[in-house]
């Protein structure tokens, strides 16, 4: 079993994230990017479903146990490289030439919540797990590209509440705010998600063009606005 496993069901690719809490570090990010490349180049899949295999966590975001020591010892170039790599994944998801669906199999915290918002659709287990942006309590501001992704998926008044208070939303609350398409019991989460995925047999070319137009603010934020923040080396972490 690799960090990211791929299965194909007709025109749907199913990616399983297997790295425990699926925290962002170079190994995880490169494995995820590699899996997305493989699906695009070596399969005919037009819909991609991504799930976590941890029993209670979809993704816990940045691997601070890996990143903090790097920043504390002053290795700013490695830290900058990490954020550019993370942005590669967020940009890839935001422009991917297939419909992307996140099956939130547990908690989506911090960067995990941000990553899920880069998908086109989200389904979330109803019995366990929170959707949360705790960066306000960690003293970590968001990059412009991250904010652009969050603005795409979360109503502004809800996003302000989440960012300024660090509150945790349940799956039912996420569904009420249309952050997720549906809150499902864990026993039916994948069945419901895959049924929706199977209904979306859309051509890659039109999905690519729709995303290019819909998500151009995200692309601009990541490719232009994020660069001065990353190059400054001031990450407010650690």
Q: What percent of the chain is modeled with pLDDT above 70?
A: 100
Query: How many other CB atoms sit within 10 Å of the CB of residue 41?
Result: 7
Mean predicted lDDT score pLDDT of the chain: 96
* CA–CA distance, 1 with 31 (Å, rounded to integer): 12
Output the DSSP codes for the chain. Answer: --SEEEEEETTEEEEEE-STTT-B-HHHHHHHHHHHHHHHHH----EEEEEE-SSSEEE--B-HHHHHHHHHTT-HHHHHHHHHHHHHHHHHHHH-SSEEEEEE-SEEETHHHHHHHTSSEEEEESSS--EE-THHHHT-PPPHHHHHHHHHHS-HHHHHHHHHH-PEEPHHHHHHTTSSSEEE-HHHHHHHHHHHHHT----HHHHHHHHHHHTHHHHHIIIIIHHHHHHHT-----
Residue-level pLDDT at 238: 65
Average pLDDT over residues 218-231: 98
pLDDT in tens, 70-111: 999 999 999 999 999 999 999 999 999 999 999 999 999 999
> Burial, 198: exposed, middle or buried (Cβ in 10 Å; 0-12, 13-18, 19+)?
middle
pLDDT band at residue 53 using 50, 70 and 90 as cut-offs: very high
Percentage, residues of the chain above pLDDT 90: 95
* Per-residue pLDDT at 180: 98
Per-residue pLDDT at 125 exceeds 70: yes
Average pLDDT score over residue span 186-202: 97
| Mean predicted confidence (pLDDT) in 134-146 | 94
- Report the pLDDT averaged over residues 127-135: 94
Looking at residues 44-61, what average pLDDT do you find? 96
Q: Are 36 and 3 in contact (CB under 8 A)?
A: no
* Per-residue confidence (pLDDT) for residue 30, from 0 to 100: 98
Among 52-56, 107-111, 145-149, the least confident range = 52-56
User: What one-character-per-residue DSSP string does 98-109 give?
Assistant: SEEEEEE-SEEE
pLDDT band at 158 (very low <50, low <70, confident <90, very high): very high
pLDDT tier at 1, thresholds 50, 70, 90:
confident
pTM score of the predicted model: 0.96
pLDDT at residue 55 in the model = 86
| Domains defined for the chain, CATH in brackets | 4-198 (3.90.226.10)
CA dist 107 and 56 (Å) reads: 6
| Cα–Cα distance measured from residue 40 to residue 69, given in angstroms and rounded to the nearest whole number | 35
Cα 116 to Cα 90: distance, rounded to the nearest angstrom? 9
Residues found in the chain: 238
Q: Is the pLDDT of residue 52 over 70?
A: yes
Q: What is the rounded average pLDDT of the residues 43-72? A: 95
Q: What is the pLDDT of residue 66?
A: 96
């Amino acid at each position: 079993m690799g960090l990211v496993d791929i299965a194909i069901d007709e025109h749907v690719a199913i990616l399983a994230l297997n790295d425990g809490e699926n925290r962002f570090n170079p190994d995880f990010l490169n494995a995820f990017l590699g899996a997305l490349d493989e699906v695009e180049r070596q399969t005919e899949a037009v819909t991609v479903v991504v799930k976590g295999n941890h029993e209670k966590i979809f993704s816990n975001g940045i691997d601070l146990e890996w990143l903090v020591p790097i920043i504390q010892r002053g290795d700013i170039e490695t830290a900058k490289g990490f954020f550019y790599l993370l942005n590669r994944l967020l940009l890839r998801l935001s422009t991917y030439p297939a419909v992307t669906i996140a099956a939130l199999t547990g908690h989506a915290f911090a960067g995990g919540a941000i990553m899920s918002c880069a998908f086109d659709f989200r389904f979330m287990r109803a019995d366990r797990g929170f959707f949360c942006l705790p960066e306000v309590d960690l003293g970590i501001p968001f990059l412009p590209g991250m904010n652009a992704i969050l603005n795409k998926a979360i109503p502004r008044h809800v996003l302000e509440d989440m960012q300024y208070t660090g509150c945790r939303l349940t799956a039912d609350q996420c569904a009420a705010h249309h952050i997720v398409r549906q809150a499902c019991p864990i026993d039916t989460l994948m069945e419901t998600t895959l049924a929706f995925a199977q209904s979306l047999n859309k051509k890659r070319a039109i999905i690519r063009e729709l995303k290019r137009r819909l998500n151009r603010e995200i692309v601009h934020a990541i490719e232009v606005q994020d660069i001065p923040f990353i190059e400054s080396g001031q990450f407010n972490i650690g």
